[in-house]
Amino acid sequence: TPFDDIKVRRALCMAVDQQAIADTYYGGNAELMNFPAAPIPEFSDVYVPLEELPESIREQFEYHPDKARQLLVEAGYPEGFKTEAICVSTSDTIDLLSIVKNYWVDIGVDLTIQPKEIGAYYSIVYAKSFEQILVGTAGATEAFTFVRTRVGNTWNHSNVNDPVINDVYERIAAARFDETS
């Protein structure tokens, strides 16, 4: 799939004016980056503000449609591509995806939104029976969210199996769940 290429994934991020969405759709009541830890006092020892991260990370949260188009060309998709997103059939999810769809059109990506009622959606989640994009929500109030990239975990939608992440997970789990510390 196109999503196997990191250039495509980066392009899709940079094609969306996330700050405009935070300011308008969420009325200024949104954080651009709140995962894996939210910018709240309880997580001050693990949260790194976006402005302190490397440029390569920051630019994924910035609006760069020209760079997004170039990345798609470099990835072998000069004309863009068609994709689909499965989501829960709630108006807020569909509204937000509709905004993203309109941004992606500008870089040649044609998104079909496939809303599902909650039972059907979770059947797809648990079976990992989706082809392209699965849209869900993740709470940012739990710093120990590496489970979302843990091999075999239901919430590891992309089936991530990264030795570095696995090692970090094991070290965090050992420290977090050690009742003596």
State pLDDT tens for residues 6-58.
Answer: 999 999 999 999 999 999 999 999 888 877 677 878 777 778 899 999 999 99
Q: Which residues contact 13 (CB under 8 A, 6 or more apart)?
A: 60, 61
The string of pLDDT tens digits covering residues 148-159 is 677 777 777 667
74-83, 104-113, 144-153, 161-170: the lowest-pLDDT one = 144-153
Contact predicate 16/63, CB 8 Å: yes
35 CB-side CA count, 13 A:
11
Tokens 């965090």 belong to which residue? Answer: 172
Tokens 């309880």 belong to which residue? Answer: 42
Asked if the model's pLDDT at residue 144 lies above 80, the reply is no
Task: Find the helix or strand (DSSP H, E) in which 113 lies.
Answer: strand 109-116
pLDDT of residue 40: 79
pLDDT of residue 44: 77
Task: Provide the whole-model pTM.
Answer: 0.79
